[in-house]
Amino acid sequence: MSEYAVVNPATGQTLASYPSHTDAELAQKIEAADAAYRIWRATPVAERAARLSRVAELYRQRREELAAIIVREMGKPLAAALGEVDFAADITDFYADNAERITADQPLPISGDGSAAIRKAPLGVLLGIMPWNFPYYQVARFAAPNLLMGNTILLKHAPQCPESAAAIEALHRDAGLPVGAYLDLRISNDQSAAVIADPRVQGVSVTGSERAGAAVAETAGRNLKKVALELGGSDPFIVLSTNDLDATVEAAVAGRIDNNGQSCNAPKRFIVTGELYDPFLEKFTAAMAAQKLGDPFSEDTDLGPLSSLAAAERLATQVDAAVAQGATLVVGGVRDGAFYPATVLTDVTADMDVYREELFGPAAVVYRAADEADAVRIANDTSFGLGSYVFTTDPEQADRVADAIDAGMVYVNCVLADSPELPFGGVKRSGTSREMGLLAADEFVNKKLVRIG
């Protein structure tokens, strides 16, 4: 029986299931992707950009259909699902619109006569292994820059996203890319390992858990393949000073509940200094308690279900364990099927499991910090290093703290400010690469030196 199925987390109903690809079918797809690479890499950059522009156009034309698919697959509220489709289109357009700048030779100053430049050449067939939490956005930020560079894509999506995965393949096919330039794979983990080992496949990109990233990186290492990892996060939200506490709290809540709390770069640890702690906690708790759980297709729903019953049970286990170890449950914490309310924990100490864990759902931990230095200490006391958020009225303090935080991204006085031109990625156990922005187009290319005497 295939593991690829659409199970509506709001109802628990299995809506459809799809067969996994056989080994023979997989072999055909790898061959098709390799054949398409020979065509696609020789296609002029302007034509590749035009095909990507068409992909973005189709995202927008089909936005309502595409959004409805992921509401059913993983419970994202409809407004957020529509926004995700739009963002995937914007990302794809960014690479199409900046194609010449991204692919142009980079001249190098040299000693002696002649010239030298770095020329970016594609590597070949790439495997992408993508998660369920942003079914379109995650794929777009991997596929668009690599297709622009002339690589071709094999995409293994999460087993609970077979319909959105098929819809993305259809977008690329209907946009006029060569047959095989973008192919959806419904395969097992063992088959994924075989894809990575195939000599025609030149690299693999994973967005997912630490466990998944480590397993794929191990396989890639054995086969001497380039690997890019975008993994988990437990991002700090540091409050040092504010002229508008209500606005700061609003930003904190918006960041924590976005995507039903299932975002790797969401703020999850709220670190508040001095006299701001008590009023922040009071307002934050009230605002979290006011978040409405309900049907993700309803316009007045703030929080839909988590992506699955298993995901909700996992979060409940973490919160329950924290309370058993001495944390204070301020609000929330009572699961109803796959629905989990906005939850706030306090009094978490370094000897508790939750101090080191990522809470992948609408649960927040609020910490009291003595001062700036203590806030930075708490923020950095984690194995993760993806994003971070700093709220302060002092520009010099903002710059100082941004420099001190061990993370791949620092947002000052803003949340939900991701944009196609901004690189996304982390350090420590949060990953090894960058997606989006100009840096994404450098992950899977041959930076070839061309030296002319």
Strand partners, 5: 17
CB atoms within 10 A of CB 356: 13
The question of whether 264 is a catalytic residue gets the answer: yes
Choice among 84, 161, 163, 264 that is catalytic = 264
User: What percent of the chain is predicted at pLDDT more than 90?
Assistant: 99
Reply yes or no on whether the pLDDT at 245 is more than 90: yes
Number of neighbours of residue 235 by Cβ within 10 angstroms: 30
Number of Cβ within a 10 Å radius of residue 194: 16
pLDDT of residue 2: 67
Distance CA 158, CA 168 (A): 13
What is the helix (H) or strand (E) element at residue 306, kind and residue range? Answer: none
Q: H or E stretch including 367?
A: strand 363-369
Q: What is the DSSP letter of 81?
A: H
Alpha helices in 258-371 (DSSP H): 277-289, 309-324
CA angle, 57 then 58 then 64, to 5°: 115
Contact (Cβ atoms closer than 8 angstroms) between residue 111 and residue 138: no
Tell me the angle at which helices 395-404 and 372-380 cross, rounded to the nearest 10 degrees: 30
- Interval 194-228: pLDDT, tens: 999 999 999 999 999 999 999 999 999 999 999 99
Q: Which of 84, 163, 230, 443 is catalytic?
A: 230
Q: How far apart are CA 183 and CA 159, in angstroms?
A: 15
State residue 453's pLDDT score.
Answer: 92
For residues 163 and 169, give the distance between their C-alpha atoms in angstroms, rounded to a whole number: 10
CATH topology classification for 4-231+431-452: Aldehyde Dehydrogenase; Chain A, domain 1 (3.40.605)
Is residue 287 packed enough to be buried (19+ CB in 10 Å), middle (13-18) or exposed (0-12)? buried
Amino acid at 104: A
Give residue-wise pLDDT tens across range 286-332: 999 999 999 999 999 999 999 999 999 999 999 999 999 999 999 99
Mean pLDDT score, 280-285: 98
Can you give the pLDDT at residue 369?
A: 98
Provide mean pLDDT across the span 21-41: 98
- Residue pLDDT, tens place only, 52-110: 999 999 999 999 999 999 999 999 999 999 999 999 999 999 999 999 999 999 999 99
Q: Is 357 a catalytic residue?
A: no
pLDDT tens by residue, 152-179: 999 999 999 999 999 999 999 999 999 9
The b/e string for 148-186 (b: 16+ C-beta within 10 A; e otherwise) is: bbbbbbbbbbbbbbbbbbbbbbebbbebebbebbbbbbb
Strand 226-230 versus strand 235-239 pairing type: unpaired
What residue spans define the domains of the chain?
A: 4-231+431-452, 235-419
Residues ≥6 apart with Cβ < 8 Å to 224: none
Give the predicted TM-score (pTM) of the model: 0.96
| Domain 235-419 fold | Aldehyde Dehydrogenase; Chain A, domain 2 (3.40.309)
Distances in Å between the alpha carbon of 143 and those of 24, 60, 153, 415, 435?
25, 17, 7, 25, 10
The better pLDDT of the pair 247, 1 is held by 247
C-alpha torsion angle, residues 342, 347, 350, 353 (rounded to 10): -40
- 1 pLDDT tier (thresholds 50, 70, 90): very low
Residues 6+ away with beta carbon under 8 Å from 228: 203, 204, 205, 206, 431, 432, 433, 435, 443, 444
pLDDT for the residue 345: 98
- Whether 51 and 92 have beta carbons less than 8 Å apart is answered as no
Among residues of the chain, what percentage have pLDDT more than 70?
100
Q: How confident is the model at residue 41 (pLDDT cuts 50, 70, 90)?
A: very high
Residue 393 identity: T
Contact of 4 with 184, CB cutoff 8 Å = no
> Virtual CA dihedral for 138, 142, 147, 153, nearest 10 degrees?
-80
Which helix (H) or strand (E) segment holds residue 381: the answer is: none
Does residue 366 surpass a pLDDT of 70? Answer: yes
